[in-house]
């Protein structure tokens, strides 16, 4: 994986080129190029599906979503595969919208110098490794002492969202959601989640991108926006099946944080799924509050009513258990400071009787 050049792996190759527009924080070298005349070079606003490998300073794999690379490491370097920092992200593509800040900044910059189907090696300074560009003091020291962080990134596909209108976007969303539903029905929830997430990214309405939430959307973009919300709800359901409750909550919040969609059913479903996740995480106070809000929107919904009853019952039971624990603590503390000896357990009653008899006999003998 490391090159044959006599240099540290985490230092850019001599033929690497700047991809950070003069800042010199991101250097890239093409590992493969495409001959396709129609190969598209992405720009801000486009949706990319990518495969990646990250390396340590010595050129050993740290993490990847490439199953072939992961299997090679497991076969040739089992100790490395067992290392706690070795991470395989489920062998599914990483999806992100260029310019959205959804991934490592160096990746976004490098992808603007690539075409669909191409692969590059990226040397990134620490300031381009994070999404927001902020650095802790430790990261600044690491940047100065250890040089660059190294990645390989391959663009698997590009959906040019910057070039298509809301109707075309909606078709993309519907097709991706359909594939997600097929995986969900066959209980392949991990793959279903990936398609739902990709569909949600594909369907970000341009009006919201440009002016933020709260604007009145044209009819075609409103329809697109509603499809996006259903994708978030489906993703939450698939994540619940995988017991990834915190991630499910994030998708529910994505629905609730968008005020452009005044749909009672959609909002109630988002609240219901969030309450389910909070309930599983034992965050009972929050779960009760959220399910009450869902019930206020759909008071006759059986699933919401059933969940509310389960949460109320469990909270009541928890309160009783808490009171019993408190009573036992107070009782134990009272016995500790009491002049009366604590009554021994029943199994020790005979031993207690013998000891008491011996003590009384000794006292009586002493008095005589």
pLDDT digits (tens, 9 = 90+) for 309-358: 999 988 888 777 777 776 777 666 555 455 555 555 555 666 667 776 77
Average pLDDT on 5-15 reads: 78
User: Strands 61-64 and 87-88: what pairing?
Assistant: parallel
pLDDT bin (cut points 50, 70, 90) of residue 3 is: very low
pLDDT at 314 (0 to 100): 86
| 8 A C-beta contact, residue 191 and residue 183 | yes
| 8 A C-beta contact, residue 151 and residue 122 | yes
pLDDT bin (cut points 50, 70, 90) of residue 1 is: very low
Among positive and negative, which fits the CA dihedral 147, 155, 208, 260? negative
| 8 A C-beta contact, residue 89 and residue 61 | no
- Is the pLDDT assigned to residue 210 strictly greater than 60? no
Q: Using CA atoms, how far apart are residues 304 and 27, in angstroms rounded to an integer?
A: 53
Torsion of CA 246, 249, 254, 258, to 10 degrees: -150
Q: What is the mean pLDDT of the chain?
A: 82
> Which pLDDT tens digit goes with each residue over 303-320?
999 999 999 988 888 777
- CA distances to 24, 49, 174, 295, 356 from 188, in Å: 43, 20, 19, 31, 69
Angle at 97 between CA 95 and CA 99, to 5 degrees: 140
Those residues whose C-beta lies under 8 Å from the C-beta of residue 206, and which sit 6 or more positions away, are 166, 221
pLDDT at 295 (0 to 100): 94
Give the DSSP H/E element, type plus range, for residue 310: helix 302-337
- Which is more confident, 85 or 142? 85
The strand ranges marked E within the chain are 17-18, 26-32, 47-55, 61-64, 87-88, 94-97, 119-124, 149-159
- Is the pLDDT assigned to residue 209 strictly greater than 60? no
Average pLDDT on 242-249 reads: 95
| 8 A C-beta contact, residue 31 and residue 151 | no
Torsion of CA 196, 199, 200, 203, to 10 degrees: -160
* Phi (first) and psi of residue 235, to 5 degrees: -60, -40
| 8 A C-beta contact, residue 18 and residue 27 | yes
SS3 336: helix
Cross-strand partners of 282: none
- CA distances to 10, 72, 189, 241 from 56, in Å: 8, 17, 31, 34
Of 41-55, 295-309, 326-340, the range with the lowest mean pLDDT is 326-340
Q: Using CA atoms, how far apart are residues 207 and 169, in angstroms rounded to an integer?
A: 13
Tell me the pTM: 0.74
> Which pLDDT tens digit goes with each residue over 140-193?
555 555 568 899 999 999 999 888 888 899 999 999 999 999 999 999 999 999
Those residues whose C-beta lies under 8 Å from the C-beta of residue 248, and which sit 6 or more positions away, are 235, 236, 237, 239, 240, 273, 274, 276, 277
pLDDT at 125 (0 to 100): 82
- Is the pLDDT assigned to residue 208 strictly greater than 60? no
- Is the pLDDT assigned to residue 366 strictly greater than 60? no
- Is the pLDDT assigned to residue 128 strictly greater than 90? no
Among positive and negative, which fits the CA dihedral 84, 60, 73, 66? positive
């Amino acid at each position: 994986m490391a090159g044959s050049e006599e240099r540290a792996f985490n230092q850019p190759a001599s033929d690497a080129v700047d991809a950070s527009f003069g800042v010199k924080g991101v250097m890239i070298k093409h590992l493969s190029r495409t001959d396709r005349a129609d190969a598209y070079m992405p720009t801000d606003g486009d949706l990319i599906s990518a495969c990646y490998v990250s390396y340590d300073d010595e050129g050993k794999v740290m993490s990847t979503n490439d199953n072939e690379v992961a299997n090679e490491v497991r076969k040739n370097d089992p100790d490395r595969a067992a290392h706690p920092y070795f991470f395989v992200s489920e062998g599914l593509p990483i999806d992100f919208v260029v310019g959205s800040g959804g991934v490592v900044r160096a990746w976004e910059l490098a992808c603007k110098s690539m075409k669909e189907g191409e692969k590059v090696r990226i040397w990134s300074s620490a300031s381009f490794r994070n999404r927001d560009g902020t650095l802790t003091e430790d990261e600044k020291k690491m940047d100065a002492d250890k040089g660059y962080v190294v990645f390989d990134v391959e663009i698997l596909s590009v959906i040019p969202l910057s070039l298509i209108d809301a109707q075309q976007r909606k078709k993309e969303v519907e097709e991706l959601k359909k594939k997600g539903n097929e995986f969900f029905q066959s209980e392949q929830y991990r793959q279903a989640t990936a398609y739902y997430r990709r569909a949600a990214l594909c369907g970000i309405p341009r009006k919201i991108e440009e002016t933020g939430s709260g604007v009145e959307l044209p009819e075609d973009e409103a329809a697109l926006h509603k499809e996006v919300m259903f994708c978030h709800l489906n993703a939450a359901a698939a994540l619940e099946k995988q017991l990834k409750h915190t991630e499910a909550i994030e998708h529910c919040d994505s629905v609730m944080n968008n005020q452009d969609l005044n749909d009672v059913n959609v909002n109630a479903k988002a609240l219901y799924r969030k309450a389910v996740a909070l309930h599983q995480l034992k965050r009972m106070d929050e779960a009760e509050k959220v399910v009450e809000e869902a019930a206020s929107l759909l008071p006759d919904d059986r699933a919401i009513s059933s969940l509310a009853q389960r949460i109320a019952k469990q909270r009541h039971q928890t309160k009783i258990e808490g009171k019993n624990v408190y009573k036992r603590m107070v009782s134990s503390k009272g016995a500790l400071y009491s002049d009366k000896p604590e009554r021994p357990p029943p199994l020790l009653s005979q031993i207690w009787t013998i000891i008491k008899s011996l003590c009384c006999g000794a006292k009586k003998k002493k008095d005589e």
